[in-house]
Structures are given as structure tokens and as C-alpha cells.
């Protein structure tokens, strides 16, 4: 039996593509190799599901460093405000948190997944789970059929590939869509981990001196080998047994990956500024005034509230300062050295965790070969792509899911129109 539209992959983009295609009148078959749909969605946002981000479109695009400009067209079809209206229209109340992140009021990703699945079913979308696609068959540079692993051929004139990247593979994203795209003549750009913890072989990391220490509202900077700033991000971070993690770290990770490759170097320097809103001089004066007010108190107790205690103890140890001494006996140059370490804490990093451990995949189907207004392939008629299989990636904070929903909706709508107006 021939299907109007076949969607491969039941993640955020695939679910939205199925809904949009069915809403626009197509008979839709949704195929997923896993036993249940929306697995990545169910764990997104720490299980709370950050459905989108309420920034202005320009700001939104600025937070999608991997080819964000491509998103102008899909956003003209279905943008972040449309996503908010869509979910609220289905009865999911949303709330806005810091940096524009939108969450369901009940903080349950499962509510979002269930609501989308109910919508898929109510629109009459056929669902086949535990079904693996072997390949897409093409004829005369047009989609002809989808071939399953069991040899079954399902005829169709429109296929939407929504198979995700290679990150978080236990949710089903294991790079299945790339060979099907290549078969149609598409280019797959280099794949690399983004939004991923960063690794370091620094002695203090190996010795776990700072493991578990969290730093809030810091600035983290990636430098090139000549000492020029590549990128700075603010936010929180944490030291781990292998390096560093946390939101600011994740945002810097792709720049570390690219710099190590570009400069063919084993390590790259990063720098942490614990007091980004304060100059070194004003921090020094603040410390000096504390010392003057508490001359007989030990340095350790005088500067107790300055930063996380374990971090400060590490600073004193690194600078060979006896923090039990009276604060008045500590020379000014040593106080300045403390300031320098707090403002310019250096860490040599040597890479990141693997792409499988990353939140997001960098690289994918080249966007130069995709029509942005429709998500249609420029290589094969009736072939569409959406979501993380494409060479588009954003920071964490609702940006990637916004890309998934927007490109998914655009692909679904376009595929339905393509089939019905032939």
C-alpha cells in the first residue's frame, strides 16, 4: 500500500513533522526503530522538557551558532511563539524561566510527550515502532519507496528524514539518516560533539583537587595558541574528575573541538574569571579593605566569603601562601596573585567527551543542499530533512528543540502540500 508521507524517526522533529503533514491533509506513516516515541524529548531539560526559548528571533538565531541564519525561513513558517501557542492550545500551560527558557508549568516532560502522541494519534497518523528502515529507494532522482530491514517495501512519493544525530544514542539517534542522504547525493559535513563536557590532563584535575566544586556566574574563555580570544561564555560551571562541565562549559565545547582541529595542537588554553563584573583592581581593593578591617584574623577566615572555600584553598596552595597567617602579614604582591588566579584561572584542555556523550551533534546533512522554506532536498524530489540530522546546532537552553520543532513543522507542511498538489 502506498503512503502519502513517511516520516522516519519519532523524536521532536519527527513528531512535529507527522502532525504538520497530517494537519495539512496527508496520509502519514511514522516509523521508529525504538519501542517508544519521544525518548529524547522525555529526558530533555533534565526531564522537564525545555520546549522552546522566548527570545526575539535575532537573539534566537545568535544562540544557534551552527548555521543559525538558515533558520530565518523555517521560523517564518513556524517559530518559537508558534510553538508556545501550539502547546498552550493543546492545554499545556508554559512558564518562562531564566534566559527565556520555556517549560511546562508542571515540570514534566512526559506531559509534553503524551500530548504530542495523542495529537499524532488523533490526526490518524499510522505508527510503526520497533521497525528499522534499511534504506530509501530512489528512481529518476525522486523518492520511490522506503525499504525496511525485513525486506518490506513501502511505496511513497515523500519521505521526511528525522533520525537525529549521533549524540545520546540510547534514545535511538545513531546516525542512521546519513547514508540515506548520501545515497541521494547529499554531503555530510564533519560530525563532532557539541554541548559536551570538556576534558583536561592538568595535574590538579587528575588528582581531583577541585572535583565537584561549582562556580556560579563566571566567565569562561577559549583561547587560540597565540593567546587570542576565540569565544567567551558566562554562566555556571563545575570541575569534574575528567575536566570541566556545566552550562558555560557546554557552550564553549564546540570552540575547543574546532580550535584543537584547526591549529593541530594537543591542548588549548581556557580561562575562568570568577568575578566578570569586577576589574582586577577593584577586586584587589576589596580584598585589601577586608585585610585592613581584620588584620589579626587569618587570611583564610578574612577572605572566607570571597569564593567557594575549596577553590580558595586550592589557590593558596598553588601560590604557596599560608592562609593560617594573620591577613596583615600577607604581602600585597601575594594578594595580587590571589586576584590574578580568581580573574584569570588557567586550565589547559585537550578535548571533550565523545559524540555519544554530547547533548548535541555538530555537522550533518549540508544545509547548502536543502531548500530552507520547505526543508526539501535539492538532490532528490520528495525527500525532506528536519532536526538534528541537519548541519544545524544551537546551545542548550531550548534552542535545538526549537530548531527541531520548526524544521519538523516546515518539512511536514511542505511534504503534504507536495503530495496533494502533484
pLDDT, tens digit, 9 for 90 and up, residues 137-146: 999 999 999 9
- What does the angle CA 237 – CA 240 – CA 245 come to, to the nearest 5 degrees? 35
pLDDT for res 387 = 97
In this prediction, residue 119 carries a pLDDT of: 97
- The torsion region of residue 67 among left (phi > 0), alpha (psi -120 to 50) and beta comes to left
CB half-sphere exposure, 108, CA atoms < 13 A: 8
Q: What is the pLDDT of residue 98?
A: 87
Beta bridge partners of 60: none
pLDDT for residue 333: 96
Q: Are 356 and 169 in contact (CB under 8 A)?
A: yes
> What mean pLDDT comes out for the span 196-215?
98
Distance, in Å, from the CA atom of 120 to the CA atom of 126, rounded to the nearest integer, reads 8
Decide if pLDDT at 45 tops 90. no
- Burial label for 1, CB within 10 Å (0-12, 13-18, 19+), is exposed
Q: Is 88 exposed, middle or buried (0-12, 13-18, 19+ CB in 10 A)?
A: exposed
Q: What pLDDT band is residue 18 in, cutting at 50, 70 and 90? A: very high
Burial 276-315 (b: 16+ CB within 10 A, else e): eebeeeebbeebeebbeebeebbbbebbeebbeeebbebb
pTM of the model: 0.93
Per-residue pLDDT band for 396 (boundaries 50, 70, 90) equals confident
Long-range CB contact pairs, 312-318, < 8 A, 24+: 314/204, 314/209, 314/210, 315/341, 315/342, 318/204
Whether 99 contacts 41, CB under 8 Å: no
Asked if residue 399 lies in contact with residue 99, where contact means CB atoms within 8 angstroms, the answer is: no
Q: What is the pLDDT of residues 269-323, one digit of tens each?
A: 999 999 999 999 999 999 999 999 999 999 999 999 999 999 999 999 999 999 9
The pLDDT, as a whole number, for residue 43 is 87
Task: Give the closest residue to 30 by CA, choosing from 108, 133, 144.
Answer: 133
Listed by start position, the domains of the chain span 5-192+361-420, 197-352
Strands 101-104 and 94-96: antiparallel
Q: Calculate ∠ Cα 241-66-184, nearest 5°.
A: 115
% of the chain exceeding 70 in pLDDT: 100
The pLDDT-based confidence of 44 (bands split at 50, 70, 90) is confident
Reported confidence tier of residue 413, pLDDT bands at 50, 70, 90? very high
Which cell goes with 105? 508549568
Identify the three-state secondary structure at position 365: strand
Per-residue pLDDT, 28: 98
- Helix (H) / strand (E) element for 35: namely none
pLDDT band at 173, cuts 50/70/90? confident
For 66-80, how does the pLDDT look when each residue is reduced to its tens digit (9 = 90+)?
999 999 999 999 999
What integer is the mean pLDDT of 356-385? 97
**Predicted confidence (pLDDT) at residue 368 exceeds the cutoff of 90:** yes
pLDDT exceeds cutoff 90 at 170: no
Whether 422 shows a pLDDT value over 80: the answer reads no
What integer best gives the mean pLDDT of the chain?
Answer: 96
CATH number belonging to the domain at 5-192+361-420, selected among 3.40.1260.10, 3.50.50.60, 3.40.710.10, 3.30.565.10: 3.50.50.60
What pLDDT does residue 338 have?
97
- Listed residue (90, 43, 80) closest to 394, CA to CA: 80
Given a contact cutoff of 8 angstroms between Cβ atoms, the answer to whether 280 and 340 are in contact is: yes
pLDDT at 169: 86
Amino acid at each position: 500500500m502506498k503512503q502519502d508521507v513517511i516520516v522516519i524517526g519519532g523524536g521532536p522533529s519527527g513528531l512535529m513533522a507527522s502532525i504538520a503533514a497530517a494537519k495539512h491533509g496527508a496520509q502519514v506513516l511514522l516509523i521508529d526503530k525504538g519501542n517508544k516515541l519521544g525518548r529524547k524529548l522525555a529526558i530533555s531539560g533534565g526531564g522537564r522538557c525545555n520546549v522552546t526559548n522566548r527570545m526575539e528571533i535575532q537573539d534566537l538565531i545568535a544562540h544557534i551558532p551552527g548555521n543559525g541564519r538558515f533558520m530565518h525561513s523555517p521560523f517564518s513558517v513556524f517559530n518559537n511563539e508558534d510553538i508556545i501557542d501550539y502547546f498552550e492550545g493543546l492545554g499545556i500551560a508554559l512558564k518562562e524561566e531564566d534566559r527565556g527558557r520555556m517549560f511546562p508549568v508542571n515540570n514534566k516532560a512526559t506531559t509534553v510527550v503524551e500530548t504530542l502522541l495523542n495529537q499524532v494519534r488523533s490526526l490518524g497518523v499510522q505508527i510503526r515502532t520497533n521497525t528499522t528502515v534499511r534504506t530509501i529507494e530512489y528512481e529518476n532522482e525522486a523518492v520511490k519507496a522506503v525499504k525496511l530491514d525485513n525486506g518490506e517495501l513501502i511505496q511513497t512519493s515523500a519521505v521526511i528524514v528525522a533520525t537525529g544525530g549521533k549524540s545520546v544514542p540510547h534514545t535511538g539517534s545513531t546516525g542512521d539518516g546519513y547514508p540515506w542522504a548520501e545515497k541521494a547525493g547529499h554531503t555530510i559535513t564533519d560530525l563532532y560533539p557539541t554541548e559536551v563536557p570538556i576534558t583536561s590532563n592538568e595535574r590538579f584535575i587528575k588528582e581531583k583537587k577541585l572535583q565537584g566544586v561549582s562556580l556560579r556566574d563566571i566567565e569562561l574563555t577559549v583561547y587560540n595558541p597565540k593567546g587570542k580570544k576565540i569565544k567567551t561564555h558566562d554562566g555556571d560551571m563545575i570541575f569534574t574528575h575528567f575536566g570541566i562541565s556545566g552550562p558555560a562549559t557546554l557552550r564553549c565545547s564546540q570552540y575547543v573541538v574546532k580550535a584543537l582541529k584547526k591549529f593541530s595542537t594537543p591542548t588549548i588554553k581556557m580561562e575562568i574569571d570568577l568575578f566578570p563584573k569586577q576589574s582586577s583592581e577593584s577586586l584587589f581593593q576589596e580584598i585589601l579593605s577586608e585585610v585592613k578591617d581584620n588584620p589579626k584574623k587569618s587570611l583564610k577566615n578574612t577572605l572566607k566569603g570571597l569564593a567557594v572555600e575549596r577553590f580558595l584553598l586550592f589557590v593558596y596552595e598553588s601560590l604557596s601562601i599560608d592562609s593560617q597567617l594573620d591577613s596583615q602579614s600577607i604581602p600585597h604582591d601575594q594578594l595580587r596573585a590571589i586576584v590574578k588566579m580568581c580573574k584569570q584561572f588557567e586550565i589547559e584542555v585537550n578535548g571533550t567527551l565523545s559524540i555519544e556523550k554530547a547533548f548535541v551533534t555538530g555537522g550533518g546533512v549540508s544545509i547548502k543542499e536543502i531548500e530552507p522554506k520547505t526543508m526539501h532536498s535539492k538532490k532528490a524530489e520528495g525527500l525532506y530533512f528536519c532536526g538534528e540530522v541537519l548541519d544545524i546546532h544551537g546551545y542548550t537552553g531550548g534552542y535545538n528543540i526549537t530548531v527541531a520543532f520548526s524544521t519538523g513543522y516546515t518539512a511536514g507542511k511542505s511534504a503534504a502540500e507536495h503530495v496533494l498538489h502533484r
